[in-house]
A and B are shown apart, each in its own frame.
Chain A
Amino acid sequence: MRSALDKTWKTVEHGGVIEAGTAFEYETGDWRSRRPIWDAAKCSHCLICWIYCPDGSILTSEGKMTGIDYVHCKGCGICARECPPKASAIRMVSESEARE
């Protein structure tokens, strides 16, 4: 997207075609009113949250969950909802509470 801003109508690629992966530059995390808090000690690393997250905001490494990408997480709460009750490793708290 930033590449489009440097260009005039004479130099843009026509048809609204831009480079891939531009959503990475868009900080959707500041849309969030509620924040998922991950408890590493409770997590069974089933990765159900990773499957369900619509924004790819579950961070993983070598098949294990490592945290949440708060730059892009919009706080939809699906991860907390889908986390198996036995683990309950993710809970949602309000952003104001989380900041305190």
Chain B
Amino acid sequence: MAAKLKAMTGNEAMAEAMRQINPDVVAAYPITPATEVVQIFAGFVADGLVDTEFVAVESEHSAMSACIGAAVAGARAITSTASQGLALMYEMLYIAAGLRLPIILAEVNRSLSGPLNIHCDHSDTMGASYTGWIQLFSENAQEAYDGMFQAVRIAEHPDVLLPAMVTTDGFIISHGMEAMQVIGDAEVKKFIGTYTPKHRLLDTDDPRTVSPALLQDSFFEFKRVESEAMRKAKDVVVAVGQEFGKTFGRAYGLFEPYHLENAEVAIVVMGSTAGTAKVAIDELRAKGQKVGMLKLRCFRPFPYVELAGALKHLKVLGVMDRSDTFSSFGGPVFNEIRSALYDEPKKPVTLNTIYGLGGRDINVGDIKGFFENLLRVAGSGKTDGLVSYLGVRE
């Protein structure tokens, strides 16, 4: 393997991955903190380093629409966005998934207004978590870079054929520079292969109607099979992650356990906070505390069976959500994890904390403080309530 070490930001890493994927079409509109992804990629187009048709559109709604049109025509299409941009794509996200188009989206997690905020939380991506898109979270730029290639394989797998978004955390990963392993162009090309759609709308020898009005008598079957595709995607995420590991030395799964098996108290985390949490866990472990973490990478499909299996032995589980549902019942990851554990005869006390909204800093001390609360619950069996807020001024 001709891997080399390079210093890159998350946005540079995602743009570099896009250059190596060399998609047929990229349609995008700039938005902080994702702007650089397509700005850098536009440079690759201008310099003739890719064969991509770059469509500079007038909004994110148009960006996703153009990607859908391109994908229906049989193209490999990629876009990138964040926050309000993803929100503006909302209706088209469902259409991309419903038409079973393996579009790839480099998403940079950012809060949703208002008030206006440009920094990291997971509100945007969580808001799109019922659209039928595969969602892969990244702890750092390396995982985002690696995730882009895997996303192509997962999305285009004949059992799946669903769009996929790979996410980084706004500014924390997108603008943070790190040393990472870069894969050679030829190896990327070999790993992702070529995309051969079953139908191409522009194929006049095989005329097809795409997305007709399918009403009471026919719509349901198409949604049922879409649901099944998301179920099947779980095994494909695992298989592709393992193949990536064999090929490039960095294996991926649905989630990453960290000192989880022999832990009594653990947290569930997504994205960049996992790196901080590992330091907190190392420090607590050094003091003899049996603490651990499950870093959830694949939020869609939601691997509820595997999650329950990995978490049921715990005494106390703290789910950390970087967004709120405003349902009055905690964050989205908490609700789904708690539901996944419901059928286990023996299960942990499962608590939620909402943290880091709008880029509020989360440090080792914050996470250790949360662990201390969980350890107190494990000792006393008493809780102060299911949902807490970490790092907000009280």
Q: Which residues of A contact B (CB under 8 A)?
A: 1, 4-5, 7-10, 12, 14-22
Chain A positions within 8 Å of B217 at CB level: 5
Chain A positions within 8 Å of B92 at CB level: none
Looking at the assembled complex, report how far the CB atom of A89 sits from the nearest CB atom of chain B, in whole angstroms. Answer: 33
B207→A15 contact, CB < 8 A: no
User: B residues 210-235 with Cβ under 8 Å of A?
Assistant: 210-212, 214, 217-218, 220-222, 224-226, 228-229
Alpha-carbon distance A5/B210, docked complex (angstroms): 16
B327 within 8 A of A: no
Q: Please, could you name 11 A-B residue pairs with CB atoms under 8 Å apart, sorted by A?
A: A8-B221, A9-B228, A14-B222, A14-B226, A15-B98, A15-B100, A16-B214, A17-B198, A17-B199, A17-B208, A19-B207
B209→A19 contact, CB < 8 A: yes
Pick the contact of A10: B208, B209, B225, B226 (CB < 8 A).
B225
A20→B226 contact, CB < 8 A: no
Q: Closest residue of chain B to A10, judged by CB?
A: B225
In the complex with contacts A9-B228, A20-B209, A22-B212, A15-B99 CB distance below 8 A: yes
A14→B100 contact, CB < 8 A: yes
In the complex with contacts A9-B224, A10-B225, A15-B218 CB distance below 8 A: no
Looking at the assembled complex, report how far the CB atom of A28 sits from the nearest CB atom of chain B, in whole angstroms. Answer: 12
In the complex with contacts A4-B214, A17-B199, A12-B208 CB distance below 8 A: no
In the complex with contacts A5-B217, A5-B218, A14-B212 CB distance below 8 A: no
Chain A positions within 8 Å of B182 at CB level: none
B357 within 8 A of A: no
B161 within 8 A of A: yes
A-B contact count (CB 8 A): 60
Q: List 14 additional A-B contacts (Cβ < 8 Å) besides A12-B221, A16-B212, A17-B209.
A: A1-B214, A4-B214, A9-B228, A14-B225, A14-B226, A15-B99, A16-B211, A17-B208, A18-B209, A20-B208, A20-B209, A21-B209, A22-B209, A22-B212
Looking at the assembled complex, report how far the CB atom of A6 sits from the nearest CB atom of chain B, in whole angstroms. Answer: 10
A4→B221 contact, CB < 8 A: yes
Chain B positions within 8 Å of A4 at CB level: 214, 218, 221
In the complex with contacts A1-B218, A4-B218, A16-B225 CB distance below 8 A: no
Pick the contact of A16: B161, B198, B207, B210 (CB < 8 A).
B210
Chain A positions within 8 Å of B210 at CB level: 15-17
B101 within 8 A of A: yes
Pick the contact of B222: A12, A19, A21 (CB < 8 A).
A12
In the complex with contacts A8-B221, A9-B228, A10-B225, A15-B101 CB distance below 8 A: yes
Chain B positions within 8 Å of A9 at CB level: 220-222, 224-225, 228
Chain B positions within 8 Å of A16 at CB level: 98-99, 210-212, 214, 222
In the complex with contacts A14-B226, A14-B229, A19-B209, A7-B221 CB distance below 8 A: yes
CB 8 Å contact bits of B137-155 with A (1 = contact, 0 = none): 0000000000000000000
In the complex with contacts A1-B218, A4-B221, A12-B225, A21-B207 CB distance below 8 A: yes
CB 8 Å contact bits of B299-315 with A (1 = contact, 0 = none): 00000000000000000
A20→B161 contact, CB < 8 A: no
A18→B208 contact, CB < 8 A: yes
Chain B positions within 8 Å of A5 at CB level: 217-218
Looking at the assembled complex, report how far the CB atom of B64 sits from the nearest CB atom of chain A, in whole angstroms. Answer: 16
Chain B positions within 8 Å of A8 at CB level: 221
Most buried by A among B99, B211, B224, B225: B225
Q: Closest residue of chain A to B210, judged by CB?
A: A17
Alpha-carbon distance A20/B204, docked complex (angstroms): 10
Q: Closest residue of chain B to A8, judged by CB?
A: B221
Chain A positions within 8 Å of B220 at CB level: 9
Alpha-carbon distance A82/B211, docked complex (angstroms): 32
Chain A positions within 8 Å of B161 at CB level: 14-15
Alpha-carbon distance A19/B198, docked complex (angstroms): 13
Alpha-carbon distance A17/B222, docked complex (angstroms): 9
Alpha-carbon distance A19/B206, docked complex (angstroms): 9
Looking at the assembled complex, report how far the CB atom of B277 sits from the nearest CB atom of chain A, in whole angstroms. Answer: 39
Alpha-carbon distance A12/B217, docked complex (angstroms): 13
